[in-house]
Structure 1
């Protein structure tokens, strides 16, 4: 169903703080042309935590409109309130999205039973497929493999985005779920090895900057051309690191701005523009990769 390189798309903002729909349309078109396999709209990288619900829904609506069915669109529907996540899912199900990405509830630190109840309630709210998202570095709560296995039995829960960076989790999960359950890496630094060890794809921050290369890496791994995949990864490995020298999506937005893909690198508070040293570091990396002059 969902495979390959899915970009965790940034949400462009004008200097005024309003959504930059012109840049958004251009980004979607660029990803279609670059061979990106799918878009995740308004996830963490899309600043879901600071977009009001009406704006969140509208950005997803615009992305679906710009994609025009040429590329799958998965909508970020996560929230630390189950009711809010259900509301987002129901509203965005009306927009012809292809599925949802829903994060483990943050700040609340729910028990595993609470995580199960949360995701089952979301999965029951629509008929669309849901991908679970485990990122304990941001949510504090860590979804166990046992919990994933229990949730995978729900017909609308089809996969997991694992952003732990722990490759042993992939082997554990694959043993615990059915063969058609989808395993996405949410950690670019280990994404290539994740694919080579049997993962199905990456939901990638780096794909914002190098969409063609990320898609090619996923395609190579999917054909079991692991040497080819690792050769691409060798070129990109330092970029993966540099994109996270400040909290995501600060550096990806700055990089896209310097590449001329965004009109502004504006973020929603409490996120602010990168420090001067960080700006210089990512600009040096972009120069090395031939992405700016």
Structure 2
């Protein structure tokens, strides 16, 4: 059974001026996404600045989202690590806290050979019962999940999907040829949702969903319901806004965009910091043009 179909938002992690996590705002944003029709929430993904969260915060963010969602939509917990033992710990603890699935990025920096990568995922998956979504984003990790690797990894029983953010449509098509209807292929790039849906994708794990959740979900469901022109209209309309939210490294612009949209202060943890003034001006322009401001 597919974990979700539609738009899963890779949720930002709101923070206070002192750098602590703003859990009240996290709950408010989670509720807003439910009200706006988001189909799943990804807590502690890349967009959530997870690499700067200590384990206690990481797990509390997941738990806070799970409690706020209260079973209404799936909560997918990001638990990837470049240390297998640490990845096991995060996965087990996320399962205890009620996550519905796990998003596990490939090991970063130290990378891995094909053999050791398979062992890495086998070790984590053997310790949990939750379905696992692979996360392939070589631009961040330096490690690409090629079709040959995916072919081996999908033999692990609880690997049930992939967030594909390589940007390589040919690779994505090759992966689509390897999997069955029970395996979920999610776009990891907001500008490639419809191409991936066209080869059997189930939806998107979205960044733009942080500020346009209703439209992003509608776009996917229009396509899945055969309303291709309606879906295309949204995909093309979102493109200038997508360019704006990726004009600096993610999640810097989109977190600022959430602040502009919701009227809240935005704070980051170093090494991330405030966007350039030109980026803020671009965000305001594109958000206004899209009808968000």
Which TM-score bucket, shorter chain as reference? over 0.9
Which consecutive residues of structure 1, in runs of 5 or more, have no partner in the other structure?
none
SS at match of 2:46: coil
SS at match of 1:176: coil
Equivalent residue, structure 1, for 2:215: 213
Equivalent residue, structure 2, for 1:33: 35
CA distance in 1, matches of 2:198, 2:107: 30
Determine if contact 1:112/1:143 at 8 Å carries over to the other structure: no
SS at match of 1:202: strand
Determine if contact 1:43/1:76 at 8 Å carries over to the other structure: yes
Equivalent residue, structure 1, for 2:165: 163
Equivalent residue, structure 2, for 1:203: 205
Equivalent residue, structure 1, for 2:268: 267
CA distance in 2, matches of 1:272, 1:68: 33
The answer to whether 1:16 aligns with 2:37 is no
SS at match of 1:216: helix
Equivalent residue, structure 2, for 1:257: 259
CA distance in 2, matches of 1:214, 1:99: 21
Equivalent residue, structure 2, for 1:225: 227
Determine if contact 1:130/1:157 at 8 Å carries over to the other structure: yes
CA distance in 1, matches of 2:79, 2:28: 23
State the shift of 1:111 in Å.
1.2
Determine if contact 2:77/2:103 at 8 Å carries over to the other structure: yes
CA distance in 1, matches of 2:156, 2:195: 28
How many corresponding residue pairs? 291
Determine if contact 1:135/1:142 at 8 Å carries over to the other structure: yes
Give the structure-1-normalised TM-score: 0.97
CA distance in 2, matches of 1:180, 1:90: 24
Determine if contact 2:82/2:111 at 8 Å carries over to the other structure: no
Match of 1:125 among 109, 124, 127: 127
Equivalent residue, structure 2, for 1:57: 59
Match of 1:142 among 141, 144, 153: 144
SS at match of 2:185: strand
State the shift of 1:159 in Å.
0.6
The answer to whether 1:71 aligns with 2:73 is yes
Alignment of 1:41-120 (within 5 A): 41-120=43-122
CA distance in 1, matches of 2:115, 2:243: 34
Deviations 1:225-278 (CA, angstroms, capped at 9, x unpaired): 2211101111101111111111111001101111125x3211111000001111
State the shift of 1:177 in Å.
2.1
Say which is worse superposed, 190-199 or 38-47, in terms of deviation: 190-199
State the shift of 1:196 in Å.
2.6
Say which is worse superposed, 221-230 or 181-190, in terms of deviation: 221-230
Equivalent residue, structure 2, for 1:290: 291
Say which is worse superposed, 16-25 or 44-53, in terms of deviation: 16-25
CA distance in 1, matches of 2:145, 2:41: 24
CA distance in 2, matches of 1:196, 1:55: 38
Say which is worse superposed, 88-97 or 195-204, in terms of deviation: 195-204
Deviations 1:134-189 (CA, angstroms, capped at 9, x unpaired): 00000011111111111112111101110011111222112112331110010111
Query: Deviation above 6 Å: which 4+ runs of structure 1?
Result: none
Alpha-carbon RMSD: 1.0
Equivalent residue, structure 1, for 2:196: 194
State the shift of 1:71 in Å.
1.3
